Amino acid sequence: MTNSRVVVIGASAGGVEALMQLVEHLSPQLNAAIFIAVHFPPGSVSFLPKILNRAKTLPAAHPHNGETIRPRRIYVAPPDYHMLIHPDTIELSRGPRENGHRPAIDALFRSAAQAYGPGAIGVVLTGMLDDGTKGLQVIKAEGGVALVQDPAEAMFRSMPESAIAHVEVDRVLPLTALANYIVDLYSVGHCA
């Protein structure tokens, strides 16, 4: 990928609504690829890409294993697959569940940190328990940016609260402000 920038987003309970609000405020000029992991039960069908495409900001889809990463796209982890990112490609894995889930947010975040280092932004949204916290720690350790939805706004507070308690986060913001912050960091013409 030519721009070497990725935004990885993790959500669980209440995540579809939060993601829709976030994506509605992203710019089509966002000079990064976006990856989303949401907890879905195995064997379920995810309509999340279709839902996010209603925002008409960035095209969303479930990726294929080995797909080349392109900027200004949203890649949604399919149910029952971990989505791992490499410097230029996406890997879909049926590896062991993490935190009881596949896809797991931590797995996505770790892969982003390892592949993109300071070019990675990790975002933890609404959800229960603590998936995303350890992965966000790795993003910070590799020089990336850690963002968290304001727990006061989250439908389920425990994932954001866990991230805030265990990671030196860069910003805790409501969804619209999170989207604006990402756009300011990574829009065409606003980044090096």
User: Which of the residues are catalytic?
Assistant: 12, 39, 131
Q: Please give the single-letter amino acid code of residue 143.
A: G
Q: Which residues pair with 172 in a beta bridge?
A: 148
Count CB atoms within 10 A of the CB of residue 120. 28
3-state secondary structure of 171: strand
- Give CA angle at 140 (139, 142), nearest 5°: 65
Q: Measured on CA atoms in the order 98, 104, 108, 109, is the torsion positive or negative? A: negative
CB 124 within 8 A of CB 132: yes
Hey, what are 113's tokens?
């940190």
